[in-house]
């Protein structure tokens, strides 16, 4: 009888505990290694917060946008979720995000002031301009996009290794690409290329490096007819059809440039921090350098990506959810684990030397820190209400890549179409 009474009592206590427990849901996308780390972090947070339970919902990255939008559509969003800078404006205007400004300095153990300022600024929004105003998410990571080169290929071609800090000029970059593009087996086909770059991710560096951009300073006017912009686009496209130092569309279909790089048959290829785990097993030595510039004296630039931790405005426990987001973003032990596993560049400035002093390839990890501090930029589309105008530029760019139309003709033809879409985006924001 006593045992029965005790069992009933225990079940009652446990039921009350479950009813009173504060449950937070966290939706993200993560590879198995990241998920393992996240589960450890959740365990640590729960142990230091009795009565709190964090439910992790990890989905495929390709499915994340659809699932998070569906969650909001059914009025059942997770408490914490990934959000990129490009979505901040829309999410704030739709009242999906909790304003985190008042919470950021109230969490014991978190080091908000140690976060890179430009990482935090990616998630500021004042109702008009991204980068200003209140904080609507906290940076999960930073993605400095550097240019890598195969040291073995350059060495065999008798080419001196590029400077770790001084960017190559377009002319110097092309010269090395020509020297490293070869038919290595004598079958009449190129099987080692100088480079192979994606138009969506790796053309903009050449545009910025030639002192041009897609938009003017007001972010309301398309500037793709600027002679410097046209010059950069023509140079980039000529790498394929004219100079034959990069694979054409057919050759890309036969073997993606990424696979050419990892097998050791491409001299230059992009490398971001998230690539480093996979690149540990490359059969060659490599390093990273700044992106090329049009002429000596011009400034190199590349895009600095990021994803952040957002908190739902509908969370039942906003203060606790904000604390957990800050724990993930600015808690030093979290960043130390991520850094040591090469999962990302630390978002805390005090850990930069811990990252740059790591052994192995790439030796020039300092380039990633330089991108974060000096040369990294946001995507042009992040300054506008949508990206339809931006992706319009690429709609027929293949004509220029194939040598069937000049960059000047194309840019002048596409500019009015881009401007109309940009104007519509502006009107949509005002409404």
- Of 206, 204, 218, 200, give the one whose Cα is nearest residue 177: 206
- pLDDT above 50: residue 119: yes
Could you tell me if residue 405 is inside a domain?
Answer: yes
Could you tell me if residue 373 is inside a domain?
Answer: no
Q: What is the pLDDT of residue 13?
A: 44
- Provide DSSP, 311-322: EBTT-S-HHHHH
pLDDT 10s digits, 54-94: 999 999 999 999 999 999 999 999 999 999 999 999 999 99
CA distances from 144 to 147, 257, 351, 384 (A): 10, 20, 16, 22
Answer yes or no: do 27 and 70 share one domain: yes
- pLDDT above 50: residue 216: yes
Answer yes or no: do 272 and 393 share one domain: yes
Q: Which two tokens stand for residue 156?
A: 């065999």
* Domain total of the chain: 2
Percent of the chain with pLDDT over 90: 84
Alpha-carbon torsion 366, 150, 154, 294, what sign? negative
DSSP 8-state secondary structure symbol assigned to residue 96: -
The whole-angstrom separation of Cα 393 and Cα 188 is 35
pLDDT class for 126, splitting at 50, 70, 90?
very high
The whole-angstrom separation of Cα 82 and Cα 74 is 18
Q: Which two tokens stand for residue 17?
A: 């505990």
Answer yes or no: do 159 and 283 share one domain: yes
The whole-angstrom separation of Cα 301 and Cα 280 is 26
Could you tell me if residue 5 is inside a domain?
Answer: no
Answer yes or no: do 291 and 251 share one domain: yes
DSSP 8-state secondary structure symbol assigned to residue 244: -
CA distances from 276 to 33, 262, 301 (A): 13, 12, 21
Q: What is the CATH number of the domain that holds 44?
A: 3.40.190.10
Could you tell me if residue 203 is inside a domain?
Answer: yes
Answer yes or no: do 154 and 178 share one domain: yes
State which residues form the domain around 86: 21-143+306-363
Answer yes or no: do 44 and 131 share one domain: yes
In the three-class reduction of DSSP (H, G, I as helix; E, B as strand; rest coil), residue 130 is classed as strand
Mean pLDDT of 212-240: 97
Q: What is the pLDDT of residue 12?
A: 47
DSSP 8-state secondary structure symbol assigned to residue 84: -
- pLDDT above 70: residue 378: yes
Could you tell me if residue 1 is inside a domain?
Answer: no
Answer yes or no: do 220 and 187 share one domain: yes
pLDDT 10s digits, 160-181: 999 999 999 999 999 999 999 9
DSSP 8-state secondary structure symbol assigned to residue 212: -
Residue where a domain terminates, one of 363, 387, 404: 363
Answer yes or no: do 355 and 411 share one domain: no
Mean pLDDT of 268-294: 95
- Of 390, 384, 398, 378, give the one whose Cα is nearest residue 415: 390
Cis peptide before 362 (omega within 30 of 0): yes
pLDDT class for 129, splitting at 50, 70, 90?
confident
Are residues 271 and 146 in contact, defined by beta-carbon separation less than 8 angstroms?
A: yes
Answer yes or no: do 296 and 249 share one domain: yes
Q: Which two tokens stand for residue 309?
A: 């931790």
Could you tell me if residue 372 is inside a domain?
Answer: no
Global confidence as pTM: 0.89
Q: Considering only 96-110, 184-198, 276-290, which range has the smallest mean pLDDT?
A: 96-110
Alpha-carbon torsion 79, 347, 371, 281, what sign? negative
In the three-class reduction of DSSP (H, G, I as helix; E, B as strand; rest coil), residue 306 is classed as strand
Are residues 30 and 39 in contact, defined by beta-carbon separation less than 8 angstroms?
A: no
Q: What is the pLDDT of residue 20?
A: 61
Mean pLDDT of 321-325: 96
Stretch (H or E) spanning 140: strand 138-144
Neighbour tally for 31: CB within 10 Å: 12
Answer yes or no: do 177 and 34 share one domain: no
Answer yes or no: do 135 and 33 share one domain: yes
Residue where a domain terminates, one of 338, 363, 388: 363
Could you tell me if residue 276 is inside a domain?
Answer: yes
Could you tell me if residue 390 is inside a domain?
Answer: yes
Answer yes or no: do 44 and 138 share one domain: yes
């Amino acid at each position: 009888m006593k045992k029965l009474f005790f069992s009933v009592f225990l079940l009652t206590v446990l039921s009350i505990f479950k009813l009173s427990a504060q449950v937070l849901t966290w939706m993200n996308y993560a590879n198995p290694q990241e998920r393992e780390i996240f589960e450890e972090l959740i365990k640590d947070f729960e142990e230091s917060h009795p009565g709190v339970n964090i439910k992790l919902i990890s989905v495929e990255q390709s499915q994340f946008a659809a699932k998070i939008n569906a969650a909001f559509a059914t009025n059942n969003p997770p408490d914490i979720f990934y959000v990129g800078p490009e979505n901040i404006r829309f999410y704030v205007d739709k009242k999906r995000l909790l304003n985190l400004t008042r919470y950021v300095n109230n969490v014991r153990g978190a080091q908000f002031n140690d976060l890179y300022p430009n990482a935090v600024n990616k998630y500021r929004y004042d109702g008009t301009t991204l980068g200003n105003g209140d904080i609507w998410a906290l940076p999960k990571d930073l993605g400095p996009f550097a240019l890598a080169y195969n040291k073995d290929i350059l060495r065999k071609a008798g080419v001196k290794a590029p400077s770790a800090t001084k960017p190559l000029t377009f002319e110097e970059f092309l010269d090395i690409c020509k020297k490293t593009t070869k038919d290595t087996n004598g079958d009449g086909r190129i099987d080692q290329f100088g480079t192979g770059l994606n138009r969506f991710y790796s053309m903009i560096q050449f545009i910025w490096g030639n002192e041009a951009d897609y938009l003017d300073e007001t972010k309301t006017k398309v500037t793709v007819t600027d002679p410097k912009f046209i010059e950069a686009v023509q140079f980039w496209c000529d790498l394929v059809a004219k100079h034959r130092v990069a694979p054409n569309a057919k050759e890309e279909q036969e073997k993606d440039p990424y696979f050419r790089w990892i097998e050791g048959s491409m001299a230059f290829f992009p490398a971001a921090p998230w690539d480093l785990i996979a690149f540990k097993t490359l059969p060659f030595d490599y390093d990273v350098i700044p992106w090329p510039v049009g002429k000596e004296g011009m400034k190199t630039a590349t895009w600095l990506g990021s994803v952040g931790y957002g908190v739902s405005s509908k969370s039942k426990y906003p203060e606790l959810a904000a604390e957990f987001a800050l724990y993930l973003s600015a808690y030093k032990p979290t960043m130390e684990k991520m850094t040591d596993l090469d999962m990302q560049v630390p978002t805390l400035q005090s850990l930069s030397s811990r990252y740059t002093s790591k052994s192995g390839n790439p030796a020039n990890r300092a380039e990633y820190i330089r991108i974060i501090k000096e040369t990294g930029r946001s995507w042009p589309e992040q300054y506008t209400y949508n990206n339809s105008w931006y992706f319009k530029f690429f709609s027929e760019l293949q004509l220029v890549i194939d040598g069937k139309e000049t960059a000047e003709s194309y840019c002048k033809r596409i500019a009015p179409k881009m401007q109309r879409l940009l104007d519509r985006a502006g009107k949509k924001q005002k409404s």
